[in-house]
Amino acid sequence: MTSQNAIHILSRALIIDQDHILLCKTLDLPVPFYFLPGGHIEHGESAETAVLRELMEESGFEGKIKRFLGCFENSFEPGHSSICHNHEYNLIFEVVLEGLKFPTPIPQREAHIELVWIPLASLNTLDVRPQLLGTCLLGWLALSSNDAFQSTMV
């Protein structure tokens, strides 16, 4: 199996403050798009540890997980929006970043992305990837369960 055909597992953060969502915006592609902060889970790392590590790397702020929201499976055409894979599972956690609230600007720590606050009301007008994620996020937020995720790694 080539790396392009590999399945990747990612841990992502949903961060909302004052009706604004924190998103990553691509800076190194011809057509920019938005996605949730977070990234790949390293071998031997829990999904919770991964999302907190990725948030620190991307924003410089420490996070606290409120709850697991859900898992989103995504498959796309090779080369469409990723050079390393075309099938992924995104584990989505609701997270609070210590000391980071809207409208605080976030220093750019990685050359290929910037973190931006976007009004929740405009979420469906942006190129957010995966496309159906916005709809799922709003549905997950409406649920009150915080017991959705269990791990032997905790």
Q: Output the domain CATH number for residue 70.
A: 3.90.79.10
User: Residue 152: inside a domain, yes or no?
Assistant: no
The per-residue pLDDT for 47 is 96
Give the dihedral sign, CA 73/38/23/95: positive
| Residue at 120 is within a domain | yes
pLDDT of residue 145: 64
Asked if residue 150 belongs to a domain, the reply is no
- Check residue 37 and report its DSSP letter: S
Residue 46 lies in a domain: yes
Helix segments in the chain, DSSP class H: 47-59, 133-142
> What's the pTM?
0.85
147 within some domain: no
In the prediction, which pLDDT does 130 show? 81
Q: How far is CA 73 from CA 28, 70, 113, 115, 132, in A?
A: 24, 10, 22, 23, 10
| High-pLDDT (> 90) share of the chain, % | 51
Number of domains in the chain: 1
Give pLDDT, residue 7: 83
Evaluate whether 53 touches 62 at the Cβ level (below 8 Å): no
**Rounded to whole angstroms, what are the CA distances from 99 to 46, 103, 148?**
24, 12, 27
Q: Per the domain annotation, does 149 fall within a domain?
A: no
What are the tens digits of pLDDT across the range 79-109?
A: 555 555 568 889 999 999 988 999 988 888 9
> What single-letter DSSP state applies at residue 67?
E
Residue 153 lies in a domain: no
Q: What range does the domain containing 118 cover?
A: 3-142
Provide the pLDDT for residue 131.
78
